[in-house]
Structure 1
Amino acid sequence: VIVFNGDQDFVTNSIGALYWLGSLRGTVDYGAQLAVAKDKPLEFKKGGRLGTIRSVKYATGGSLAFINVTDGSHTAVLNKPLEMHQAIEAVLSEAIWA
């Protein structure tokens, strides 16, 4: 599961989205593990920096990530179309977890 959020999104802000993710519970305490993960820069060869990613892979085989899109609004794909396209390709190919 990957959640994208623009840091300039005033409809569903990044802090609230990250707080919501931090409350996720299941077979393991998914949210707590994501909450302590470190933010890493997320950049692509074309277009450059998309923002930051915070991700966790669980022993259950599941994965959870939060991508904070720098200068992204509620429709971050309109703000950074090239970078968002590459991010979605990376999600589909599972390269985002490398």
Structure 2
Amino acid sequence: MSTGGLITRSAALRPAAEQPPVTTPREPAREAAERELSKPLYHQDDPGLLQRALDRFWDWVGTLFDHASGATPGGALGLAAIAVLVALAVAALWWRLG
């Protein structure tokens, strides 16, 4: 007598609490994740070398300005005033020295 697949279906319909837990050791799981995530499918929209270099440069400049604005009196406004004064001094030297 055939059960018509009822046993298979009933096993698939068991609640998750009755299913044995998945026990994958840490190292094989990490290696499997590395293999999966190294596929080109996951990297087709990654930025190019130039874009990554520019991103790092602008992050560095932003960090410098953040530290400088915290160290100067007046915060960001004080830093802007100092930058304007330095730019004016450079322009005056350029104009004077030719």
Mark the structure with the bigger radius of gyration. 2
Provide TM-score, normalisation by structure 1: 0.24
Provide TM-score, normalisation by structure 2: 0.24
Greater per-residue helix proportion: 2
Greater per-residue strand proportion: 1
